[in-house]
Amino acid sequence: MNELWMSIYTFIVAVILPSLINTILNSLIFVHVRSSGRRVQPNIVTAWTSEFNREQQQLPKISRREIALLRQMVFMFIMFVTGWSAVLIVNIITQVVYTSAIFVLISMLLAELCAIGIIIDLYVYNHELRKFLCNKFQLCFKF
């Protein structure tokens, strides 16, 4: 029974708590990006616009940059939760009932694939790092 409690505690500390902190921080980042984007974009309202046009202009539209940021945040969050949840839920289940070792191995493989996915995603989205590494690889393989 003590091992079950420790498994549940580990799940809460390793998945639930970081997910909550991640959600709060990502929300703050998105609000900051959104407010800074609205400060930069001009909001021109002429005297001849109708009331309908004024209402439409006052509703802030989500830019492509904000959509890309949201997509990145959601992807990272899903990969984190999927990778850690699988391993820790299988750990909790093995404390309660007998499970085959194949389930543990599959959950560990899923966690490793999620970690690799996060690393690849960060590499793809960081243009400066990608350019720097490509230049270094080209220098290494030139004769």
Q: What is the DSSP string of 119-141?
A: HHHHHHH-HHHHHHHHHHHHHHH
pLDDT exceeds 80 at position 45: no
* pLDDT on residue 62: 84
Choose among 91, 80, 111, 109: nearest CA to 17: 80
Domain boundaries, the chain: 2-141
pTM of the model: 0.74
The 10s digit of each residue's pLDDT in 47-75 is 555 555 555 556 568 889 899 999 999 99
* pLDDT on residue 53: 58
